[in-house]
Amino acid sequence: MAYQIGLYLIYGIAAQGIGFLWGKTGVLPLGQSLFFGIAAYVTAITLKVDGNLFLNLVLAAMVLALIAGVAFVLATLVFRGRNESGPYFSLITLALVMIAEQVAGTATSLTGGFNGMSGFNSLGDLDPFGNFYYVIVAATVAVSLLLFILNRLPINLIAKAVLDNEPRMQLLGFPTHMIKGAAFAFSAMIAAMAGGLFASHQGIVTPTSTGFALSAEMVILTAVGGRFHVLGPLIGAVIVGWASAELRGSFPYWELLMALVFILVVLKAPGGIAELLEAAFRRVWPKTPTPLTPSVVAPPTRSGTRPAPLRFEDVQLKIGVVRILNGVSFETPATGIVSVIGPNGAGKTSALNTITGNLNVTGGRIMLGEVRIDSRPPHNALGNGIGRKLQVPSVFFSLSVSENLAIAMMAGRLRMADLFRTTPLQWRSRSLSRVLNNPSVPLKNELTDPVQHLPQGHRQFLEYAMTVAAEPSVLLLDEPCAGLSPDETALMTELVRVYQIETAGLVIIIEHDMSIVEAISDKVLVLHLGQVLAFDDYKKIRDNPDVQAVYAGGTK
């Protein structure tokens, strides 16, 4: 019995790696047996060559590090420049595992071919039917504890935010392709560790250890047990493993039954058995609200903070046959508020997208001071001191208000060591405190509320607070007052003006309400048909006959 449970736990450990990646980032790896099998073969080879325990452990650590490095590079390259690469990535891992199984079955001199590799002792010469079981249990406990600890660190919140809203994470300065790459590397390392245990436990490694069938089984274990819970994959491995052992001999259609269970869980209970068990437990023992921890003064931002003029030099933007920007040239002052107005389709939002790198220019260049900033990845924008609020509030809907603000506070400040401390979750900058402490801003009383329950106006204030939390020197606001009442509009206008005065930075705001433009603007830029129609102070813009001919703004 212990021998069989040990095998289930080994598969459960590998499935925990899948659960970490799939449950937190939404990326489904279909080829985890690639790392499982490679580690199993390498373990078998090292145990054959030398039985020295210390040497074997050192080699195992080196193999885990190498596998994690390869997985990181692979995933980073796949996800670089792509927000929606999940299915593409899954297919690549599927192809790799199919190739690996074919190679393992044909490279007889290296892997033993179809018959596999055998004739080696277990790690430390422990009995696979006896003492080695406790090694497996210790490894299971260690991996589970590590995953529980990670759930309490910024790593967990960052991964969940990537799944929720990857474009917003990029505008907050997070290189999401590297985050997903690191998550995949960690899951691959866990799978590899399980593969090493598997070799010692079974005493034989065959090509099926690197095959798609095993990868698919691991995915099923993860889904049935619950990919959102640390213990879910372990629960799935034990239950499915036990059921398979019981039904394999007596019920010829047990594989079909497992497939139907998998489909049912995915459709009706995405959280798996662990979620059902937790829901039942919460009915008996309701969860008490977690009190908010006291805030901590945030370290200085590392985003660019020195005011500098923004300059468009004959900027052109063409998508397909459509010209969006057609030779846009202007230069803003280093500080102040510049309002961008113009009819719909004039290229206002597209101009902001070229500043942040969401759109690559097809001609000309954009300069911030002496630094060229166009056609760079969006996650580089904050490093250049550029913060962006979008037209439709772009926040993390699956998280609470305080979690949204915590993510924003880490933007431009987080260092590698901070990922393993809880303090960053409590950071609070002066700019964010100024917004939250304004008695008219509703967010301070909604910190524990889920964002999905907030009204539209409150989401506008939340995204604005998230944008200024990193204290960018260039603040880009795309219709921040859209959907706000007159009182809320006045409040937002006041917040923008105060931020500009306090930071002495540059604010560029797209706005259609001419009363706001008049009240807030130092300069007004008018765009029409992708070109600059006028760029001057408000009075001259208002009296400009060319502007009057093509544009008439409104007021609330």
Q: Which of 117-121, 476-480, 551-555 has the lowest mean pLDDT?
A: 551-555
Q: Which of 45-59, 402-416, 459-473 has the lowest mean pLDDT?
A: 45-59
The pLDDT mean for the chain works out to: 90
Residue 137: per-residue pLDDT: 95
Residue 180: per-residue pLDDT: 95
Confidence bin at 271 (pLDDT 50/70/90): confident
Length of the chain: 556
Taking 70 as the threshold, does the pLDDT of residue 156 lie above it? Answer: yes
Residue 555: per-residue pLDDT: 62
Residue 553: per-residue pLDDT: 66
Q: Which of 116-130, 137-151, 258-272 has the lowest mean pLDDT?
A: 258-272
Confidence bin at 73 (pLDDT 50/70/90): very high
Counting Cα atoms < 13 Å in the Cβ hemisphere of 443 gives 27
Rg of the chain over CA atoms, in angstroms?
28
Question: Each residue of 306-321: pLDDT tens digit?
Answer: 788 999 999 999 988 8
Domain ranges of the chain: 2-222, 310-550
SS (H, E, C) 371-432: EECCCCCHHHCHHHCEEEECCCCCCCCCCEHHHHHHHHHHCCCCCHHHHHCCHHHHEECHHH
Pair of tokens at residue 551: 């544009």
Residue 83: per-residue pLDDT: 65
Measured between alpha carbons, how far is 340 from 317 in angstroms, rounded to an integer?
Answer: 18
Taking 80 as the threshold, does the pLDDT of residue 339 lie above it? Answer: yes
Q: Which of 135-139, 282-286, 421-425 has the lowest mean pLDDT?
A: 282-286
Measured between alpha carbons, how far is 386 from 175 in angstroms, rounded to an integer?
Answer: 15
Q: Which residue reads 């499982």 in tokens?
A: 36
Count of beta carbons in the 10 Å neighbourhood of residue 337 = 26
Residue 142: per-residue pLDDT: 97
Confidence bin at 304 (pLDDT 50/70/90): low
Taking 70 as the threshold, does the pLDDT of residue 265 lie above it? Answer: yes
Class of domain 310-550: alpha beta
Q: Check residues 345 and 86 and name the one with the higher pLDDT.
A: 345
Q: Check residues 85 and 435 and name the one with the higher pLDDT.
A: 435
Phi, psi of 378 (to 5 degrees): -55, -30
Residue among 212, 266, 211, 206 nearest 236 (CA): 266
| Nearby residues of 228 by Cβ (< 8 Å), 6 or more positions away | 19, 23, 270, 271, 272, 274, 275
Taking 90 as the threshold, does the pLDDT of residue 17 lie above it? Answer: yes
Count of beta carbons in the 10 Å neighbourhood of residue 82 = 13
Taking 70 as the threshold, does the pLDDT of residue 554 lie above it? Answer: no
Phi, psi of 146 (to 5 degrees): -60, -45
Residue 80: per-residue pLDDT: 87
- Report the percentage of the chain scoring pLDDT > 70: 97
User: Residue 454 is inside which H or E element, if any?
Assistant: none
Confidence bin at 166 (pLDDT 50/70/90): very high
Q: Check residues 10 and 59 and name the one with the higher pLDDT.
A: 10
What is the rounded average pLDDT of the residues 405-420?
A: 92
Residue 56: per-residue pLDDT: 83
Q: Which residue reads 């129609």 in tokens?
A: 533
